[in-house]
Amino acid sequence: MAKILVALSGGVDSSVAALRLLEAGHSVSTAYIRTWLNEEMPLADCPAQQDIEDSRAVAKQLKLDYEIVNLVNEYREKVVHYLIEGYRKGQTPNPDTMCNREMKFGIFQDYALRNGFDAIATGHYVQKLKNPDGSYDLYEGIDSNKDQSYFLALLNQKQIDRAEFPIGHLTKSEVRTLAKKHKLPNAEKKDSQGICFLGNMNINRFLEHYIEDQPGPIINHLGRVVGEHRGLHRYTIGQRRGIGVPSNTDHQAYVVTQLDFPNNALHVAFDQAEAPLLYASEVILEGLHYTHCSLSKKTELLTKPRYRDSLQKAQFIPIDEQRARICFENPQRALARGQILALYQSDTYNGQSHRLLGGGHYTEITPTISAPTQNHV
């Protein structure tokens, strides 16, 4: 049996992960990863103290060792800085994916290995399969509504090798049932939403403290100036709310189609299939990471443009080790630079048919004006 350090978040998923490993006979210890101090941003609403209390109570209930691992400085450098600089450059960063790669399965995993643990475990809804050659693959979680494989798209084989995902074969309702059966104190706790350290704070309010507003024109699809924006970092492609410009047309609303940084202009159009720049047929993917084997030739595969999107068919055309061209079978709506594209392949395992291959972030996006068709894998 292995010696495993479970990253308790204070939520029910990681708590049941610890429970399952304990029931399987492993030597289990627990740790809460501290990543934020509210004193650094008084307006933020990170529920860290409540999470610490909840995770400590779970460890006590299960009679497991518990510690707090302080990674505040590392989180600021690896995740918060990445978030701020991404918005400063007009990108749409994904802090959850970066936190997994750099923090949980990076710095925290290294901490565990240095302290004599064989692996770490988390409450992610993803399945891990050991291949005959000793390597590992990740598959979608059994619960398709909770599957979190997308957020692990930037992990590498070494990180996966020393990680366990004890609840990937369970549904959310089954996790809740187990938590209640074993009287875990957070069995009824609601799932966390959004970026932890922001809590209920709007992302724009947070960015105000780091990025100065630079107002500029809002230009519609006819080339007319229809208003003024406060700063391009406040917007992302596909955004409808908060633009501040009425369309003056019944049943039609403006949507952001371009952040024009050279001219400090925000471009908008009606949210329609033919809206200029809103749909893309090709993208350049950079910063490629592979969970197992790299892709070195043109390949037909499946992609997930965003976490809640359905899988989309596409061609993967490698440019070099770090870049690839992605050609979608059907145009995709509102892709933004900096977002993560996860790569999958059809391959059935334990009720799921999609194996995670890796992922990267959008850097160049080729728009199309052809109307998209419905395509769900």
Give catalytic residue positions: 99, 196
The neighbouring-strand residues paired with 6 are: 30, 121
How long, in residues, is the chain? 377
β pairing state of 136-140 and 27-34: unpaired
Q: What is the DSSP annotation of 54-119? A: HHHHHHHHHT-EEEEEE-HHHHIIIIIHHHHHHHHTT----HHHHHIIIIIIIIIHHHHHHTT-SE
Query: Residues 307, 308, 310, CA angle at the centre, nearest 5°?
Result: 105
* 193: number of Cβ within 10 Å: 8
Contact 46, 197 (CB under 8 A): yes
The number of angstroms, rounded, from the C-alpha of 370 to the middle of its chain's C-alpha atoms is: 29
Whether 333 and 372 have beta carbons less than 8 Å apart is answered as: yes
DSSP states along 209-267: TTS----EEEE-TTS-EEEEES-GGG--TT--TT------STT--EEEEEEETTTTEEE
Single out the residue of 165, 163, 125, 168 nearest to residue 147, CA to CA: 125
**Token pair listed for 16:** 């049941």
Question: Which of 304, 310, 303, 361 is CA-nearest to residue 336?
Answer: 361
Angle between helices 12-23 and 172-181 (to 10 degrees): 70
Residue 106's contacts (CB-CB under 8 Å, 6 or more residues apart) are 78, 159
